Amino acid sequence: MHSPIIWFTLLIPLACAESAPAPARVIVTDSQSAPSEAAIKVYRYRGPDGVTHYADQAPGTAGFEILWFEHCFACNPDSAVDWRRTDLFVSDYASPISAAARTYQVEPALIRALIHAESAFNPLVVSRKGAMGLTQLMPETARELGVGNAFTPEQNIFAGVRYLSGLLRQYQGDIPLALAAYNAGPGAVEKYHGIPPYTETRAYVERVALLHQRYRDALAGNPRQ
């Protein structure tokens, strides 16, 4: 059974993709000043029972973090996140991640790294382009994969992992190429015969690789410092 996430306030408008805020440049900071006018402030903290809470108002407790959501969490080349030390999500959604890993033969650590990079484990994130949920599924991809509700964590995780698994097969297990295709599209990878020369895509691939190794170590009980 995965650790639940409790939402006190619906933070992201879901009905209209055009007006929905972007996901995911998530800056963990103690500053109250938004990095841009488009940014959405989200407060994240853990309760005494270990449950992760998200809210749009400051909680009455110490130890919370402020997340500013703009773009793909791991895509911004100028991200202020310390990728070698940022907190990991080692137990969130344990059941669906394990099940998807077994079903599609994808390493759990890689799944966690991808979700971390795409949404910082926020299941209700919507991008300006309409990408949805934990693995940031585009609407057409979600439809092709038979997803009824992309904001349901289990459906989103299974669909995202299924898509990633297909990319890993397509690129003979080459994880960087599969990640580049997940981020920029298979067409861009084919066009450039490798990782596209997009600054955001290259940052994304590098940071997912770093998160992948950190999750491997953490899940093995040997977190790197």
Residues annotated catalytic, as ranges = 118
Alpha-carbon dihedral 19, 24, 27, 28, rounded to 10 degrees: 110
Token digits of residue 150 = 């992309």
Q: Are 142 and 152 in contact (CB under 8 A)?
A: no
3: which DSSP letter? B
Q: How many CB atoms are located within 10 Å of the residue 90 CB?
A: 15
Rounded Cα–Cα distance for residues 137 and 182 (Å): 10
